[in-house]
Amino acid sequence: MNDFRIHTLGCGSAKPTLRHLPSCTIIEHGKRLMMVDCGEGAQLSMTKHGLRPSRLTDIFITHLHGDHVLGLPGLISTLGLGEHKGVLTIHTFEEGKRILKSMFSFFAPELSFTLRFNVIKPEDGVVVDEPTLRVRSVALCHRVPAVGYIFEEKEGERHLLPEAAREAGVPVEWFKRLKQGEDYNDGTSIIPNNRLTTPPTLPRSYAHISDTSYLPDLGERIGKVDLLFHETTYLEKDKEKAQLYGHSTARQAALVAKAAGAGRLLTGHYSASITDDYLIAEEASKVFPSTLVNFEGRVTTVREAPAE
């Protein structure tokens, strides 16, 4: 099974602190890296944590606030020096495309790779649809247009039982068809597929929800996921401030995780006023016990391995 892991590079919010960096998350899926938001210091953090920028295939922007995009000029400029080959796609709104193209034309006029923009809208929809992976967007409620992203593996092929296939006399050229679910038919008899294969690995899913007021219907729109990152900018005692600035409390994030039927909740996007991140996790855990406290350098598997 491919690796499917979340690397936290920045889990602070807009106001800089010595404790946290601005928003940036790397999704490792197999051999590729995908980035969600690119706050200042993103490329340095990638290097620090052993993530080669040359492996990046996609950058997903949730919204156009500085703490989520101001690391992009430096990153693109560095990649343009020869660090990257092939195609890099930035998923953003039409306004983001216009602003970023202008910045890149000045700071990185010559690139060693193809930079592509996929213009999206602030709505629920499908952003990427590939043979093995689908990425959906969900509209959020912030002070500017914003979306969250849901990364969903597609169901793969069944797993061949080589010894059973050999004993049944199945020729090698049939193996692919068996993995695609066909029964074996040699022209005289049929062997049911479930005697020669086992079911495919259950697909995994990750949702990334940043910068939004509490939305009671959001869990239903996200759907059941293995791991949910949902911003936890404030504690419940600052609920009015959260609503004013278009953010959520730890308790509200936990309510979304519970409604979505998420496997685990990952905290983050902490306000500069939060001096103990564990208070955030403690508050969320009262509603949703499977809460993980987030920090820079944390690597989280999307689905926990089964207990032995």
Average pLDDT over residues 51-59: 93
SS3 track for the chain: CCCEEEEEEECECCCCCCCCCCCEEEEEECCEEEEEEECCCHHHHHHHCCCCHHHEEEEECCCCCHHHHCCHHHHHHHHHHHHCCCEEEEEECHHHHHHHHHHHHHHCCCCCCEEEEEECCCCCEEEEECCCEEEEEEECCCCCCCEEEEEEECCCCCEECHHHHHHCCCCHHHHHHHHCCCCEECCCCEECHHHCEECCCCCCEEEEECCCCCCCCHHHHHCCCCEEEECCCECHHHHHHHHHHCCCEHHHHHHHHHHHCCCEEECCCECCCCCCHHHHHHHHHCCCCCEECCCCCCEEECCCCCCC
**147 and 165 fall within a common domain:** no
Which residue type does 130 have? E
Average pLDDT over residues 119-139: 97
Last residue of one domain, picked from the residues 171, 198, 225 = 198
**28 and 176 fall within a common domain:** no
pLDDT attached to residue 192: 85
pLDDT attached to residue 2: 72
Band of the pLDDT at 23, cuts 50, 70, 90? very high
Q: How many CB atoms lie within 10 A of CB 11?
A: 28
pLDDT attached to residue 163: 87
pLDDT attached to residue 170: 86
**40 and 73 fall within a common domain:** yes
Average pLDDT over residues 216-236: 98
- Whichever domain contains 216, its CATH number is 3.60.15.10
Is 249 within the bounds of a domain? Answer: yes
pLDDT attached to residue 250: 98
Query: Which tops the pLDDT comparison, 193 or 261?
Result: 261
pLDDT attached to residue 74: 94
Is 307 within the bounds of a domain? Answer: no
How many domains, the chain?
Answer: 2
pLDDT at residue 31 above 50?
A: yes
CA pair distance 148, 138, nearest whole angstrom:
5
Tell me the backbone φ, ψ of residue 45, rounded to 5 degrees: -65, -40
pLDDT at residue 41 above 90?
A: yes
Band of the pLDDT at 83, cuts 50, 70, 90? low
Q: How many CB atoms lie within 10 A of CB 39?
A: 27
pLDDT at residue 220 above 70?
A: yes
Band of the pLDDT at 71, cuts 50, 70, 90? very high
Give the mean pLDDT of the chain: 93
Write down the residue that tokens 């005692």 correspond to. Answer: 237
pLDDT attached to residue 197: 83
**111 and 123 fall within a common domain:** yes
**46 and 176 fall within a common domain:** no
CA pair distance 142, 30, nearest whole angstrom:
32
pLDDT attached to residue 305: 63
CA pair distance 284, 291, nearest whole angstrom:
7
Last residue of one domain, picked from the residues 175, 198, 221 = 198
pLDDT at residue 44 above 50?
A: yes
For 46-50, 80-84, 221-225, 229-233, which range has the lowest pLDDT when averaged over its residues? 80-84
Q: Is the pTM of this model over 0.75?
A: yes
pLDDT attached to residue 188: 83
**193 and 247 fall within a common domain:** no
**103 and 245 fall within a common domain:** yes
Band of the pLDDT at 205, cuts 50, 70, 90? very high
Is 286 within the bounds of a domain? Answer: yes
CA pair distance 3, 22, nearest whole angstrom:
25
The length of the chain in residues reads: 308
pLDDT at residue 126 above 60?
A: yes
Is 40 within the bounds of a domain? Answer: yes
pLDDT at residue 178 above 90?
A: no
Band of the pLDDT at 307, cuts 50, 70, 90? very low
Is 308 within the bounds of a domain? Answer: no
pLDDT attached to residue 1: 58
Average pLDDT over residues 37-59: 94
Assigned token pair, 78: 């560095």
**105 and 240 fall within a common domain:** yes
pLDDT at residue 308 above 60?
A: no
Query: Which tops the pLDDT comparison, 160 or 38?
Result: 38
> Residue 173's domain spans which residues?
159-198
Is 306 within the bounds of a domain? Answer: no
Last residue of one domain, picked from the residues 146, 171, 198 = 198
- Known catalytic residues are 67
**187 and 144 fall within a common domain:** no
Assigned token pair, 270: 């902490």
pLDDT at residue 246 above 90?
A: yes
**147 and 268 fall within a common domain:** yes
Residue 300 · residue 283 · CB < 8 Å: no
Give the rounded percent of residues in the chain with a pLDDT score beyond 70: 98
Average pLDDT over residues 98-117: 94
Q: How many CB atoms lie within 10 A of CB 5?
A: 15
**150 and 183 fall within a common domain:** no
Tell me the backbone φ, ψ of residue 92, rounded to 5 degrees: -160, 175
Residue 213 · residue 141 · CB < 8 Å: yes
The DSSP bridge pattern shows strands 205-209 and 147-153 to be antiparallel
**36 and 104 fall within a common domain:** yes
